[in-house]
Amino acid sequence: MGKSVKALTQPLDKSSGTHKHMCNHACVLGHIETTPKGETVGDPSLPSADRVLDCSGLSCPLPVVKTAQAIKQIEVGQVLELIATDPGVEPDMKAWSTRTGNELLGIGKQDGAFHVLIRRAK
């Protein structure tokens, strides 16, 4: 068996617009691309996340299961950011959001991790 990785949800630090990953590096929310110097830039068309769920290292179906649990912990209209390394997270989250009625706002990839923004609809 591989080592166990625990999913982590953290509230957003609204003052700085950042959250901490499990590896403790700061990340600007809503990012999709990186500048040539490696600095993260935000996509102004995407909303900021109200909560972050880090499922890095977890395989299917755990990112979907953890997302289903975490979405219930935020208010309708708030945004959850899922961070996952499993390449299956993209089709899984598209199917999950369609099935549940939650709004998939965007999926980006940076430094080997997928960043999925989901707005709670109900």
Superfamily grouping for domain 8-119: TusA-like domain (3.30.110.40)
What are the extents of the domains in the chain?
Answer: 8-119
Which residues carry out catalysis?
A: 60
Q: Tell me the pLDDT of the chain averaged across its residues.
A: 74
Q: What pTM value is reported for the model? A: 0.66
Provide the pLDDT for residue 44: 61
Provide the pLDDT for residue 116: 95
Condensed to tens digits (0 to 9), the pLDDT of residues 31-81 reads 333 223 332 334 667 788 999 999 999 998 999 999 999 999 999 999 999
For residue 84 the two structure tokens come to 């996952």
**For residue 6, is pLDDT > 80?**
no
DSSP string, the chain: -PPP---EEEE-BTTTTEEE-TT--EEETTEEEE-TTS-EEE-TTSPPPSEEEEETTPPTTHHHHHHHHHHTTS-TT-EEEEEE--TTHHHHHHHHHHHH--EEEEEEEETTEEEEEEE---
